[in-house]
Structure 1
Amino acid sequence: MLFIIGLGNPGTKFNGTRHNIGFEVIERLAYDYHIKLDRKKHKAFVGQGVIKGEKVVLMKPQTYMNLSGEAIADVLGFYKETPDKIIIVYDDTSLDVGKLRIRERGSAGGHNGIKNIIAHMKTQEFIRIKVGVGEKPPGWDLADYVLSRFDELEIKTIQASIKMSADAVAMILDVGVEKAMNHYNSRKAGE
């Protein structure tokens, strides 16, 4: 079983913000593969289903971004699984809107949600899909920026990016992370 986890913050006031892009990718996967995210377990909304022949658990942690590792540790403990069975989808301010970067391992890169996951997992060895949300403008506080919504010019690109991210998850499950990295890491959604 694989665990596909999108990072974000719970509550309607965070819907549509840059920081919640991981949640939106999980919702897209749930829609595309007819998986209901209707159970609240493991400090998250979860749904079980099949993507590309693989049994998966889709997760939207409800612990707030900076405590995401708690929910992931809880679900992996319950299923007696290891961090190599997770794919984390989250926002990245170092990537332009519409760009993806898939990695098999790496540091937190300043992302507090990933920092918390690494602390709970005691490893940096897990697949992650970084979804570009654009660099913060000069003079902006980073927290204010990631909690802001996309502007009108970005909406079409970010919607394409959400679909591309969901397709990247499916490709990882279908043919492996290396091929997915080669296919998606140099592309931009909407082009």
Structure 2
Amino acid sequence: MKYLIVGLGNIGPEYADTRHNIGFMILDELAKQEGAKFYHMRLAYYSEVSFKGCTLHLIKPTTYMNLSGKAMNHWMQELKIPLENVLVLVDDIALPLGTIRLKPKGSAAGHNGLKHLEATLGHNNYARLRFGVGDNFPKGRQVDYVLSGFDDDEKPELPALIDRSIEMIKSFTTIGTELTMTRYNK
């Protein structure tokens, strides 16, 4: 079985380790744990890892957040991966830090990366792992907030949350969306 795991984020050192790049951070850690490396390929940094007989194709789009659908669509076609085997990793300001939820589908909720995926696919029926980054920002300052780094008091929590996200990715590939939601969405 083949899976496409899409970590949303923005390329460039100025975006590294920002809330908006949590998708990249999760995939970087997954690759590191599995001894895999990312390679710059068409529209994305690409890597692959094997897990329990499955191949996980990991992509970090190089199109910037607002054009993420281009990269996802290209790699789905290139690798012939059906939509039900695609998982998108995304930051979510509607969830507090420490909350990670798997959803089988849903609205973009104002997230530009998800908006572009939806526009590219023509629907929102794809699984996403929503990583809560909180909403501790003044009205109208959402962009500054998601493009800023995690606060010093939040950073110690990140490694365990990223590890939990990786467990959920692996669970998604072995037991599917519904059972993973039952097990992890608390």
Question: Shorter-chain TM-score: which interval?
Answer: over 0.9
Contact 1:47 1:58 in 2 (8 A): yes
Deviation at 1:46, TM superposition (A): 0.3
Contact 1:83 1:121 in 2 (8 A): no
Give the Cα separation in 1 of the matches to 2:120 and 2:43. 14
Deviation at 1:85, TM superposition (A): 2.1
Contact 1:90 1:129 in 2 (8 A): yes
Contact 2:4 2:81 in 1 (8 A): no
**SS in structure 2 of the partner of residue 176 of structure 1:** helix
Deviation at 1:123, TM superposition (A): 2.3
TM-score, length of structure 2 as denominator length: 0.94
Deviation at 1:56, TM superposition (A): 1.5
Output the amino acid matched with 1:122: G
- Could you list the structure 1 runs, at least 4 aligned residues long, displaced by more than 4 angstroms after superposition: none
Deviation at 1:50, TM superposition (A): 0.7
Alignment correspondent of 2:15: 14
Give the Cα separation in 2 of the matches to 1:43 and 1:33. 23
Alignment correspondent of 2:142: 142
Contact 1:93 1:135 in 2 (8 A): yes
Give the Cα separation in 2 of the matches to 1:90 and 1:102. 10
Deviation at 1:140, TM superposition (A): 5.3
Alignment correspondent of 1:30: 31
**SS in structure 1 of the partner of residue 123 of structure 2:** coil
Alignment correspondent of 2:75: 75
Deviation at 1:139, TM superposition (A): 4.0
Alignment correspondent of 2:86: 86
TM-score, length of structure 1 as denominator length: 0.92
Give the Cα separation in 1 of the matches to 2:114 and 2:21. 14
Output the amino acid matched with 1:180: T
Give the Cα separation in 1 of the matches to 2:137 and 2:67. 26
Give the Cα separation in 2 of the matches to 1:124 and 1:140. 26
Identity %: 36
Contact 1:98 1:160 in 2 (8 A): no
Alignment correspondent of 1:54: 54
Give matches, 1:138-177, under 5 Å.
138-139=138-139, 141-177=141-177
Give the Cα separation in 2 of the matches to 1:147 and 1:81. 31
Q: Give 5+ residue unaligned stretches, structure 2.
A: none
**SS in structure 1 of the partner of residue 106 of structure 2:** coil
Q: Give 5+ residue unaligned stretches, structure 1.
A: 187-191
Output the amino acid matched with 1:7: L
| 1:26-64 deviation digits (Å, cap 9, x = unpaired) | 011111222221x22230000122123211111110111
Alignment correspondent of 1:180: 180
Contact 2:105 2:127 in 1 (8 A): yes
Give the Cα separation in 1 of the matches to 2:52 and 2:58. 14
| 1:60-113 deviation digits (Å, cap 9, x = unpaired) | 101111110010111112123332221000100011111101001111111110
